[in-house]
Amino acid sequence: MTACRFVKKKGLDFLINAFHQLENEFPDIELIIIGDGPMKKKLLRTTPSKNIHFLGKKSSEDIPNYFWTSDLFVLCSREIINKKTGYIDAETMGRVLCEANASSLPVLASNSGGINSIITDEDNGLLYETDQFNSFRKQFVRLYSDTDLRARLIRNGKVKSQSSHDWSILLEKHLNIFNDLIKNKN
């Protein structure tokens, strides 16, 4: 499954194309896509498959239910350069990756933007080279076929989400930073 805004930087076009290629080799796989956005109509037109399910936008309270019924979370983000400004639009941290880890779901994500600040390759998820099908396929096959690897990634992801990405931990870190700034100002 994936959950994201339907914009170019999220790489849904890549994920859907990769899924179609994997579907021939693994006919029992299904893809749940949660979200909405400007690319919705285009994505719906280009994805004729009974195994791809567009569920639309869901509330943040509902998304964990889909995590718990899925076998894998995928985020295929990429960097997009604005042709007019030259600015790069990239994934910052991908909060949804923290949520997938917290929900005991193995993660497969592109090595793009700030994703590697959340997912450490081979520790709490697997990274693949952005927009590279062979790299994506290799990591997918590993997750699909290696139960020990999945169990380790799930275990480590759960620990990392509790020790580093829980809102109470993040709030405490931010408060400490603010307190240090106030102390240094005086």
pLDDT for residue 169: 67
CA distance 13 to 147: 28
pLDDT > 70 in the chain, percent: 94
pLDDT for residue 45: 85
pLDDT in tens, 125-170: 999 999 999 999 999 999 999 999 999 999 999 999 887 766 666 6
Euclidean distance between the first and the last CA atom of the chain, given in angstroms as a whole number? 49
Structure token pair of residue 133: 């099908």
Gyration radius from the chain CA atoms:
18
Sign for the CA dihedral angle at 100, 35, 17, 30 comes to: positive
Q: What is the DSSP letter of 119?
A: P
Mean pLDDT split into 10-residue runs, the chain, 186 residues: 96 96 93 95 84 94 93 96 92 89 96 94 98 98 97 96 72 75 79
**Structural domains of the chain ordered from first start:** 2-185 (3.40.50.2000)
